[in-house]
Structure 1
Amino acid sequence: MRLPTLRRTRPAEPGVIGGVVRLDRRTKRLVGRLRPGEIAVIDHVDLDRVAADSLVAAGVAAVLNAKPSVSGRYPNLGPEGLIKAGIPLVDDLGEELFERLREGDTVRVEGDTVYVGDDAVAKGQRQDAETVALSMADAREGLSVQLEAFAANTMEYLKQERALLLDGVGVPEIQTEIAGRHCLIVVRGYDYKADIDVLRPYIREYKPVLIGVDGGADALVEAGYTPDMIIGDMDSVSDDVLRCGAEVVVHAYPDGRAPGLARVQRLGVEAITFPAAATSEDIAMLLADEKGASLLVAVGTHNTLIEFLDKGRGGMASTFLTRLKLGGKLVDAKGVSRLYRQSLSGSSLVLLLASAIAAMAAALAVTTIGRAYLSVIAEWWDNLIFTLFS
């Protein structure tokens, strides 16, 4: 009998990644199409942490960025997140990356070079923990410049939206009853899953109005809740969630243009618009405040200066002023999960049970009723032993 010939396969070279590519110039859109093991091709200067977290959650094999993932303007948080998750990052690959690759192509990444077959299509910079740390150090030196720009944007926003911030002018009429109730506003941002999980007892007890900001509506549904309202530009909320019966408010530009409205209407969903220069998460807070919410609980929203800058948009100036306006009415759930998350070891559980039993025994021993019960139990035990061994 002739044995089959075994084909020798050459093992992959260290540092070589291969896979199918998915391309999109908007990372937010791309993550909806990615499958585990695929390679993400993005066009994202100063990759922010939210985008990086979504790529990690999608299980990508590598990230190829046409733009610099760290421009040096400020210490953005995305590249560090990818490197910590063990996902190779090659950036600054140039515009030709989108010209020479097509959706579904199989590529090979060797070091800092991208190949299709034997052809090198782009060459960039392979990032690692050391290069990212150096870039972050350089970026922190330029933080003062970005802070000045942020302050200028904040003043410009105040001039544009003074009537909205101070008097609520432009807030649309809604059907959802908010006056006197708590509102839980969910953005698919930093640590949103952990925070929603920690807030479950609060949601059960207070039954707040559930407001999903774009993809935050999907986050609520994934957690087992149905949003009462969906607010945003509608670029990252799924069709099924838009049809869930929630009241829909489409974020429009100050001039009234609302690109997301057409999509909502195509789905047969009624919607109203809210023109404003603020971000979607901010108009959700301003709307709830203007309609009389007694407390606003924010999940996944931006809270620190680095987080404001991490979005890299002038519109983030609205976030600072919105929080100043809301003051103590706004409770940010960020970090609550870290504060209350505890792990109980097996030995600790045994010790806890033993302490409880000892406490019960002590209580029985020092009370008249307890001693009577102990006498009954002792007599029952003696009778059981006698029966078994007689």
Structure 2
Amino acid sequence: MVGMIFSRTDTPGIHGHTRDCTGTRGASRLEEGDIVVIDTPDINRALAQKLIDARVSAVVDTELLSTGNVPNFGPQMLLDAGIVLVENADADLPAKLKNGRKGRLHEGKVLYGDRSIGKGELLDEDTAVTRFTDAREALVDHMEALTGNTAEFVRTEAPLLVDGLGVPDVDVDMDDRKVLVVSPDPHLDDKLKSLRYFIREYDPVIIGVDQAVDDLVKHGYRPRVIIGDPELIAPENLRGAAAVILPADPDGQAAGLERIQDLGIGAVTFPAASDNATDLALLLADYHGASMVVNLGPTVDLERVFDTAQADGAPSALLSRLKVGGKLVDSSSVAELYRVSRSGGGWLWAVLGVIVALVVIVLIAGLSGPDGFVDNLVDSWNNIALRVQDLF
């Protein structure tokens, strides 16, 4: 099988489901017969339909097309459309690709000519159907367990969720202010860069979580509040915060307490049944009166709730976000408000720049002279006109 090989985020209709593996952003579109290389586990129906509409010949995934966490129907749709599926391909395959170069697929191997640049496992229809059925049954069991765990969490933490019992006092004013909670995230650098205009405009109170504190400092931001395990944070950055909070067990035992004491840094504990520092940071901001809480970090969506690997932390994540309620906004949504379209927004800034320049020129001309503003402006204009005449 021969086709074009793609692995970029800006492919129309596929961005957001694949990551930019080549470091380039081309403008080519998928064409009939192309081979698509992605790194997306549990390919869903929406993405599958876009690939089908593009009439690709094969999809190679460095992840499992169906992990068993969710009953995703995407692989069956692709197979029904006659598209060859290869999964669990070599993790370094995307780095070896040259976008748009002719390649071929043979028995799970991606080839440039006769040279193999990576291989995976062919996925057949029987395997896809079996995984779908097993995942559907497992999901029901998972959700029943999640319901019970959530009820137990509410029983234990009702005072915290309702009245904020246990939330520590901090010497940082968050009342009626915007708060930015920054947690460890694989795309933290890009997300933080996309928020620079928001941060500049509103100067939010920044709460750094775990090792994200060091990333914040690297970008020139000093978190006012730090919450998390001090073992994950550089000592000099711990000293730069107005408040350091350690997640603690309900009995008060906190990881990293000895390190804090050795460093001579003052800290308070936040006892709760959850040890997830991000969840506690959200509750902290809400309790202290934040008007808006922007969450920069992994989002809690249906896929995460369905993920059995997240089962232990799901009740805490769900209920903490329900507590914050309408104040909570994901950082990507805030960044979208400040995004200027590459194709249609640049001219607005250009026009604004010209207007500002004209205003400055008029002010300088009107104020530079012994007479009144209008007389100075007329004299300046006459001088400019005479000089232009002299040139000709």
- TM tier relative to shorter chain: 0.5 to 0.7
Change (3 A) 1:241 1:341: same
- Read off the aligned partner of 1:307 and give its amino acid letter: R
2:329 corresponds to which of 305, 328, 331:
331
Q: Structure 2 CA distance, aligned partners of 1:336 and 1:164?
A: 28
Which residue, 258, 263, 275 being the options, matches 2:259?
A: 263
TM-superposed CA distance for 1:341, in Å, is 4.3
Q: 1:172 aligns with which of 168, 175, 189?
A: 168
CA distance, structure 2, for counterparts of residue 275 and residue 199 of structure 1: 31
Q: Within 2, Cα distance between the matches of 1:171 and 1:331?
A: 21
Q: What is the match of residue 159 of structure 1?
A: 155
Residue aligning to 1:312: 310
Call closer, same or farther: CA 1:84–1:148 in 2, change over 3 Å: farther
What TM-score does the superposition give when structure 2 sets the normalisation length? 0.56
Q: Deviations over 1:270-309 (max 9, x none)?
A: 2111111222111111122212222212111423122345
State the partner residue of 1:284: 281
**Using the alignment, how far apart are the partners of 1:298 and 1:307 within structure 2?**
16
TM-score, normalised with respect to structure 1:
0.56
User: How does 1:3-22 map onto structure 2 within 5 Å?
Assistant: none
- Hey, what does 1:303 align to over in structure 2? 300
How big is the shift at 1:331? 1.8
Deviation track 1:62-92 (CA, whole Å, cap 9, x = no partner) reads xxxxxx998634489xx9899488379xxxx
CA distance in 2, matches of 1:250, 1:136: 45
Separation (CA, whole Å) in 2 of partners of 1:267 and 1:81: 46
SS in 2 for 1:161: helix
Q: 2:208, 2:227 within 8 Å by CA — same for their partners in 1? A: yes
Separation in 2, partners of 1:266, 1:161:
31
Match of residue 184 from structure 1? 180
User: What CA deviation, in whole Å up to 9, does each residue of 1:31-55 have, x standing for no partner?
Assistant: xxxxxxxxxxxxxxxx99xxxxxxx
Match of 1:384 in 2: 391
Gapped runs of 5+ residues in structure 2? 1-40, 43-63, 73-86, 97-118, 359-376
**Matches of 2:228 and 2:244 in 1, distance apart?**
8
Task: Using the TM superposition, give the Cα deviation of residue 167 of structure 1 relative to its aligned residue in structure 2, in angstroms.
Answer: 1.0
| Compared CA separation, residues 82 and 211, structure 1 to 2 (3 A) | farther
d(CA) in 2 for partners of 1:275, 1:326: 19
Sequence identity percentage: 38
Which residue of structure 1 aligns with residue 94 of structure 2? 86
CA–CA distance in 1 between the matches of 2:89 and 2:273? Answer: 30
Deviation at 1:212, TM superposition (A): 0.5
Structure 1: runs of 5 or more not aligned: 1-46, 49-67, 89-125, 361-369, 386-390
Task: Spell out, residue by residue over 1:72-127, the C-alpha distance to the aligned partner (whole angstroms, 9 max, x if none).
Answer: 34489xx9899488379xxxxxxxxxxxxxxxxxxxxxxxxxxxxxxxxxxxxx86
205-214 vs 133-142, which moves further: 133-142
> What root-mean-square deviation, in Å, do the aligned CA atoms of Structure 1 and Structure 2 show?
4.7
**TM-superposed deviation, 1:213:** 1.0
CA shift, 1:193, in A, is 2.6
Pairing partner for 1:196 from 192, 197, 207? 192
CA gap of 1:340–1:264, structure 2 versus 1, over 3 A, is: same
Change (3 A) 1:329 1:80: farther
CA distance in 2 between counterparts of 1:286 and 1:140 reads 33
Deviation of 1:163 (Å):
0.8
SS at match of 1:86: helix
Question: What secondary structure sits across from 2:68 in the alignment?
Answer: coil
Where does residue 225 of structure 1 map in the other structure? 221
Residue-by-residue CA offset, 1:236-267 (whole Å, 9 max, x unaligned): 32333223244110001223221221222222
| 1:250 is aligned to 2:251 | no
1:321 aligned partner: 319
